[in-house]
Amino acid sequence: MLLPESIQSLITALERLPGIGPKSASRLAFYLLRAPDDIAQDLSVALANLKANTAFCQECFNITEAGRELCEVCDSSKRDGSLICVVEEALDVLALERTGGFRGKYHVLQGVISPIEGIGPDDLKIKQLVARVANGIVKEVILATNPSMEGDTTAMYLQTQLKPFGVHVTRLARGLPVGGDLEYADQNTLLRALSGRQEMS
């Protein structure tokens, strides 16, 4: 079936989003076509504002409002500047903030080292992290990259870059999830749970 160009161009644009295949893109496009005008209009305005009204923090590279040099976390005097948690993406900051248990600051790499995708250290915000640590205020850097091959490679690279500064470099603990059964855990998860075991108090 031949579709009008406006619908086909929307489907093509939606397909470029992560996790959206041709069928999902088609369903979304036809939903928007049938939906009340205000839904499509609100989406259009939100997409236009997304780029116009957001920027990156000049210190940690998290997302912030356009016109602000620092994000709320970096600008807060209540946060511990001697403790930096390094994450891959801004969504990781949201996940950690939801816990309410971290009172330090962040550094968003905006990706991970991935030779397959042609992403090297110079494509990430690594030099900026090293510069933050070099100022002598930072005492501990928590490497909170994902437990994947790329995340581990990035964490190891960061460790070598930060070693000359004598800063304490830690990695998020890994192991069994709450409510998980041993029989369903993969071998790597079990090995990490064993090596990261803690004394009961």
Name the class of domain 77-171. Answer: alpha beta
The rounded Cα 39 to chain-centroid distance in angstroms is 28
Using alpha carbons only, give the angle 126, 127, 132 rounded to the nearest 5 degrees: 95
Percentage helix, strand, coil for the chain under 3-state DSSP, each rounded to 5:
50, 15, 35
What is the average pLDDT across 151-157?
A: 95
In the CATH scheme, what is the homologous superfamily, with its name and number, of domain 5-52? Answer: RecR Domain 1 (1.10.8.420)
How many residues are given for the chain? 201
**SS3 category, 70:** coil
Fold agreement (5-52, 77-171): no
User: What residue segments make up the domains of the chain, in order of their start?
Assistant: 5-52, 77-171
Q: What is the pLDDT of residue 153?
A: 95
pLDDT surpassing 70 at residue 41: yes
What is the average pLDDT across 176-191?
A: 77
